[in-house]
Structure 1
Amino acid sequence: MKRLLLAALLLSGTALAQTFPDRPPRILGGFAAGGTSDLINRILAEGVFATLGHRPVVEVRTGANGFIAAAEAARSGADGYTIVQCATGVMTISPELPGANMAIDPARDLIPIANFAHSSQVMVVRQQSPFRTVADVLAAARARPGEVSYASAGIGAVSHLSGARLEQLAQVRMLHVPYRGAALGVLDVLAGRADLIITNLGDAAQQIRAGEMRLLAFADGIGSPAFPDTPQIGATVPGYAVSGWFGYCAGRGTPEAIVGRWAEAIRVAASDPVTLRRFAENGLVARYEAPAEFSRTIAADRVTWREVIQGANIRVE
C-alpha cells in the first residue's frame, strides 16, 4: 500500500510539473528596485520565459534584510507559483546572528531551487573622496576611530558583515550606516553622506564606468577581467575575502518535480547569451548550481559567516 501511495504521489507530481505553469508565476525580491538584486530578478524573468512559457512577474518587497520577501514566499503556498531570491543574509547570516528577528526559519520554511549568479564584492567611494587606496581608508579609520562610515544594505546584510570583517581583521573602528538595500547605500556614498560601501560590483559598475565612483579594491580574492589592475583588499588586509551569490528558493512543501522544473529553467537562463551579455555589462557572472549543490553552498557559507559574527561579537540590539 505504501509503495502504491508513493508511486501515485510521484506520478501526480510529474503530471503537475508537465503542466506547470499555466499562468505567470511570481519572483519576489527583498531589496530596493535599481540594485543588483532587482536587476538579476528581471534578467531571470526574461531568461526563464522560453522554458516555462510564461514570463514571471517581478515584485519587490523590501525590508528586514530580505525577510519580508522571504516570508511572503514561504506563506504563499507550495504550488511553485511564488519563488524568492533567497538572499545571502536571509539564508546564511541572520540564522547565525544573535538577536535577529526572523519572520521565518529559512532552513525549515524555504527549499533551495538553484543558484543563478555571482558578483564580486568591491570597495567603492565617490570620485571626490580623498581615499585612493584601502590603506588610505584604514589610516583614516585609525586616526579618527568611529568616524569613517561605511554604508550597507541593512543590518545583517553581506555588505554589513563585509565591513565588520574589515574592522575585525584590520583592527579599526568605523561607523556602520544601514540602508534598505544596496542601491540606496550607493546613492548616499555618491552624495557624500557615507564614505564608502563594500558591495556587489553590479551595484556600482555603472557609476564606476561613468567616473562617478572610484573602485578601490576587490574583496573576493578573484577580481574581474573588466578591471584587471584593481587590487584585492586581502593584499592590504591578509585573510580578507568575501563574495556574493544570488539564488532562488520556494516555499516548504513545493513538489520536487516543480522545484526541478524551476531549476531547469534557471539552468537554461544561466547559459543564455542574452543573460551572459547583460551579466557582463553589470559586473556579474553566471553561477548555476542545482538544488543539492546550492544547498551545500548555503550550509558552507553559514559556517563562514558564523565565524565572522562570533569573532566580531555582532548582534542585533
Structure 2
Amino acid sequence: MSASRPQLPRRAFGLAALAATLALGSAVPAQAQGAYPNKVITIVVPFAAGGTTDILARVVGQYLGPELGQQVVVDNRAGAGGNIGGQLVARAAPDGYTLFMGTVGTHAINQSLYKKMPFDPIKDFAPISRVANVPNLLVANPQQPFKTVPELIAYAKANPGKINFGSAGNGSSIHLSGELFKSMTGVAMQHVPYKGSAPAVTDLLGNQIAIMFDNMPSSIQHVRSGKLRPIAVTTAKRSPELPDVPAIGEFVPGYEATSWFGLLAPAKTPPEVIAKIDAALFKVLNNPEVMKKLSEQGADPVVETPEQFAAFIRAETAKWGKVVKESGASVD
C-alpha cells in the first residue's frame, strides 16, 4: 500500500464491538455454532468474470475460505445491471452459504433507475461489511482523437452522438458516471450496455467503443501497458495509484462518482452466522497481503460493522436517487 493512501478505517467500536458481536452466538448450543460452515460457501457476483466486482470477490474469497475453514467459490450471474444476481441471493436460503458481492449499483442506484425491482435492496439483505471503495477511471482507446477532458468535451460537442461509451450494464455505476458527465457538460454521447465490465473493455481495446467510465481495477493494467489512454478519474481527488491522471472535477467542478463494493447475505440469516462471517472478513481485510492486492488494483479497502454498512447503504440510496433524478438517467 502506498504511503499516501489513507489508513484502513477502524471500526467505530473497535475490538470491544467485535467481541460483543461474537457474543451473539453464546446463547446458541455449541453444536449449532460448530455447524457453520460445514460445506462450500458461494459468493454470487452479479456481473461477468473479469470485472471489478469479480476481481474483488475472488480476492476476498481466496482468503475468506481459510478463515472460515471451508472453500469459497465465486458464481457469476450477470444481467439487468446486477439485478439477476441480486434476485438469486435475495431468494436463497438464509443460512450463510450463499453470499452476495453487492455494489453501489445493486444496492443504491438500481431502485431509482428501474420501475420494477425483483428484490428490495434494504429488506431482502443482511449487510456484513463494505469491502472496498473504488474510483471509476475515464479511459479511451488510444486511436481516439482526444487526450484530455476539455478535448473530449469539445470533440463530443462538435460531433454529437458520435462518441459511444460502454458500461457494465444499464444502471451500473459505470453507466451512471457517464450519464452524470453528460448532464454536467451538456455533451451528447451514446450509451452501449454490456453484461459486465470485461466484455466492454474488450470492445474498448478493439476500438468498437470510444470510451468507458470503468472501475479502476478492470482497466488499470491496460492503462499501465499503454493499451488504454487514461483521461481522468471520477473521484474528487487524484488517485495515489495514478497520480499523473487528473480528476474530472478539475475541469467539471462538482463532478464526483465513486463505486463501492460490499458483502451481504440474504435477510434473516442467523445473527451468529453473520457474526462469524463478519469476524472472518475483518481479519481478511486487515491482512497486509489483501490490502496490497486491493491497493494495486486502485481499490481502497474498508472495514465496518454490519450496522455501519447498513447505515451507509441507506445514505448512498438517498444520494444516488437524487443524482439519477437530476441526470435524467433511466432504464425502463
- For Structure 1 versus Structure 2, the TM-score category normalised by the shorter chain is over 0.9
Q: What's the offset of the Cα at 1:10?
A: 7.1
- Tell me which stretches of 4 or more aligned residues in structure 1 moved more than 3 Å: 13-19
Taking the aligned partners of 2:241 and 2:100, their CA distance within structure 1 comes to 30
Q: Tell me the SS of whatever aligns to 1:197.
A: strand
Q: What's the offset of the Cα at 1:55?
A: 2.2
- Give the corresponding residue for 1:29: 45
- Equivalences for 1:172-187 in 2 at 5 Å? 172-187=187-202
Residues 25 and 271, structure 2, Cα contact 8 Å, conserved in 1? no
Taking the aligned partners of 1:44 and 1:98, their CA distance within structure 2 comes to 29
Taking the aligned partners of 2:102 and 2:302, their CA distance within structure 1 comes to 15
Say whether 1:282 aligns with 2:292. no
- Equivalences for 1:56-205 in 2 at 5 Å? 56-99=72-115, 101-205=116-220
Taking the aligned partners of 1:123 and 1:252, their CA distance within structure 2 comes to 36
Q: Tell me the SS of whatever aligns to 1:106.
A: coil
Alignment root-mean-square deviation, CA: 1.8
- Give the corresponding residue for 1:41: 57
Q: Unpaired runs of 5+ in structure 2?
A: 1-23
**Given the superposition, is the C-alpha separation of residues 286 and 17 from structure 1 closer, same or farther in structure 2, using an over 3 Å criterion?**
farther
Taking the aligned partners of 2:29 and 2:217, their CA distance within structure 1 comes to 38
Residues 47 and 268, structure 1, Cα contact 8 Å, conserved in 2? no
Taking the aligned partners of 2:200 and 2:285, their CA distance within structure 1 comes to 28
Residues 13 and 256, structure 1, Cα contact 8 Å, conserved in 2? no
Taking the aligned partners of 1:279 and 1:13, their CA distance within structure 2 comes to 37
What do the CA deviations read for 1:212-241 (whole angstroms, capped 9, x no partner)? Answer: 011111111133222112111001111100
Q: Tell me the SS of whatever aligns to 1:107.
A: coil
Say whether 1:230 aligns with 2:235. no
**Given the superposition, is the C-alpha separation of residues 232 and 300 from structure 1 closer, same or farther in structure 2, using an over 3 Å criterion?**
same
What TM-score do you get using the length of structure 1 for normalisation?
A: 0.93
- Give the corresponding residue for 1:266: 281
Number of residue equivalences: 309
Taking the aligned partners of 1:55 and 1:272, their CA distance within structure 2 comes to 18
Q: What's the offset of the Cα at 1:9?
A: 9.4
Q: What's the offset of the Cα at 1:162?
A: 0.4
**Given the superposition, is the C-alpha separation of residues 85 and 13 from structure 1 closer, same or farther in structure 2, using an over 3 Å criterion?**
farther
Q: Which amino acid aligns with 1:82?
A: T
Q: Which amino acid aligns with 1:206?
A: Q
Q: Unpaired runs of 5+ in structure 1?
A: 1-7
- Of the structure 1 ranges 31-40 and 284-293, higher mean CA displacement relative to structure 2 is found in 284-293
Residues 50 and 198, structure 2, Cα contact 8 Å, conserved in 1? yes
Q: Tell me the SS of whatever aligns to 2:324.
A: helix
- Equivalences for 1:221-260 in 2 at 5 Å? 221-260=236-275
What do the CA deviations read for 1:80-128 (whole angstroms, capped 9, x no partner)? Answer: 11101112211111111252x4221121111111111121111001222
**Given the superposition, is the C-alpha separation of residues 9 and 126 from structure 1 closer, same or farther in structure 2, using an over 3 Å criterion?**
closer
- Give the corresponding residue for 1:3: none
- Of the structure 1 ranges 306-315 and 195-204, higher mean CA displacement relative to structure 2 is found in 306-315
Q: Which amino acid aligns with 2:64?
A: V
Taking the aligned partners of 2:154 and 2:76, their CA distance within structure 1 comes to 39
Residues 25 and 272, structure 2, Cα contact 8 Å, conserved in 1? no
Residues 135 and 215, structure 2, Cα contact 8 Å, conserved in 1? yes
What TM-score do you get using the length of structure 2 for normalisation?
A: 0.89
Q: Tell me the SS of whatever aligns to 1:48.
A: helix
**Given the superposition, is the C-alpha separation of residues 22 and 308 from structure 1 closer, same or farther in structure 2, using an over 3 Å criterion?**
same
Correspondence for 1:53 among 37, 45, 69: 69
- Of the structure 1 ranges 13-22 and 305-314, higher mean CA displacement relative to structure 2 is found in 13-22
Q: Which amino acid aligns with 1:240?
A: Y
- Give the corresponding residue for 1:315: 330
Q: Which amino acid aligns with 2:184?
A: L
Q: What's the offset of the Cα at 1:316?
A: 2.2
Taking the aligned partners of 2:168 and 2:29, their CA distance within structure 1 comes to 38
Taking the aligned partners of 2:221 and 2:278, their CA distance within structure 1 comes to 30
